[in-house]
Amino acid sequence: MKLSQALEVSPPDRKHQVKGIKKHMAQKKGKDKIPKTYVDKKTGKRKETNPWALAWAQYDKYGKPSSGPEKDSKAKKKVPKK
């Protein structure tokens, strides 16, 4: 197992977010496209974007989502029939 595979763990209840980030990284163009690389501010070197790191940053900042999947996500919350 590679080291990068060992670190690819989604935060609790944010697996759908990692899937969405990967989908937006794969887009060719569009306003919601996430770039595949970025320039590190400390070293000035170009690095590859890590979708798991983005999801963990959101988790660290906002915590565990309370209402289920995000509004933009295709995964929908089940609503009981009346």
**SS3 labels along 4-37:** HHHHCCCCCCCHHHHHHHHHHHHCCCCCCCCCCE
pTM of the complete model: 0.58
pLDDT tens by residue, 5-26? 556 777 778 888 888 888 888 8
pLDDT at 46: 94
Cβ–Cβ under 8 Å, residues 76 and 69 = yes
pLDDT tens by residue, 28-77? 888 888 888 889 899 999 999 888 888 888 888 888 776 655 555 555 55
